[in-house]
Amino acid sequence: MKKKKYSFLSVLVLLVGLVLAACGGGSSDETSTEGSGDSDNGNAQDNFSVAMVTDVGGVDDKSFNQSAWKGIQEYGKENNLEKGDNGYDYLQSNSDADYIPNLNTLVRRNFDLIFGIGFMLQEPISEIATQHPDTYFGIVDSIVEADNVVSIMFKEQEVSFLAGVAAAMETKTNKVGFVGGMESDVIMRFEAGFRAGVHAVNPDIEVDVQYVGAFDNADKGKQIANQMYTAGVDIIFHASGASGNGVFAEAKERKQKDPEANVWVIGVDSDQYDEGTVGEHNITLTSALKRVDNAVKDVSNRAKDGNFPAGETLNYGLAEDGVQLSTTGDHMSEETLAEVEKFEQQILNGEITPPGTLEELEEFLK
């Protein structure tokens, strides 16, 4: 009897221990679920951190990087995040040697999603993403094939086509210019689309095309703009990052010296209307907006919601609100706006496909 009673108590103690352990395990699992973002209390939204690495143009380039940073800031504020660790942030690259160290720094700071802004970060993103498969990455303006990377591309040729239409409608000299940063697939899409848009309105208009060779050389951009304006060009479309600041500087200097001077700049990426202000005048005709802000915010929200488009290439054009032509300042005539709208509808309807390469441009010009 004594031995039997002892065994019964032992079993009872064991059963109580198992029940307590199970209860403790349940509490632990619940806490883990809340932290993982699978619960319904919104913690995943608050805790999903996002950061970006700029290219050499800098975060305040009034163009590409600035637009991306705007989108990340909006994402952070909409989700009650603060700038810094566990929120949103950026690291600026002063040279291409900074790309990999900057990406590694953000990985060590445990950001959930890290963007590389610009095609120049393609190889660095590819390398770091391979080394850190548990971190999400996004590359803008290039393609990296990896399971933890989303590639974000834009149909720059569509909005550039509309910029070309606007330039062709507004030019008084029948001479317009295109200033590119570095020769690349991205900038070629800008060039091809612009030249096609000009041609669609008036094939007799002359388009002067020159490249700076960098995205951060405002002095060279200013020099090229000076040559173009002196040669009779009255509208310059730049797709050159911070080098375009020199194009604006040249146009503003000419306007300041002669308020009657007919010189215009078409901005790029961001709305660059304010960049064209000189006294009571403004020389920004329009801007070919590349909504990097919309794209990075869209991807950030998808990832936060557990729908990161891993390994995919996303293309943002007119139909996806990825590109658009600005109308700030009302500098374009009603006739020009009507023509721009007509061609925009033709692009959306598939009646016109703006060329994205010089080879496609040659076919289009025929």
Whole-model pTM: value is: 0.81
Residue 46 confidence (pLDDT): 57
Low-confidence ranges of the chain (pLDDT < 70): 1-46
Alpha helices (H) along the chain: 2-36, 43-47, 64-78, 99-108, 122-131, 156-170, 185-201, 218-230, 244-257, 292-304, 334-348, 358-365
pLDDT at residue 55, as a whole number: 92
Round to whole Å and give the CA distance between 77 and 65. 18
Residue 11 CB neighbours (<10 A): 10
Q: Is residue 302 classed exposed, middle or buried when 0-12, 13-18 and 19+ CB atoms within 10 A define those classes? A: middle
pLDDT of residue 270: 86
pLDDT at 161: 98
Q: Name which of 152, 215, 160 is nearest 189 in CA terms.
A: 160
The predicted-structure confidence for 186-216, as pLDDT tens digits, reads as follows 999 999 999 999 999 999 999 999 999 999 8
pLDDT at 29: 34
CA 181 and chain centroid, separation: 16
Structure letter (DSSP) for residue 354: -
Which domains are assigned to the chain?
47-154+294-316 (3.40.50.2300), 156-290+333-365 (3.40.50.2300)
* Residues, the chain: 366
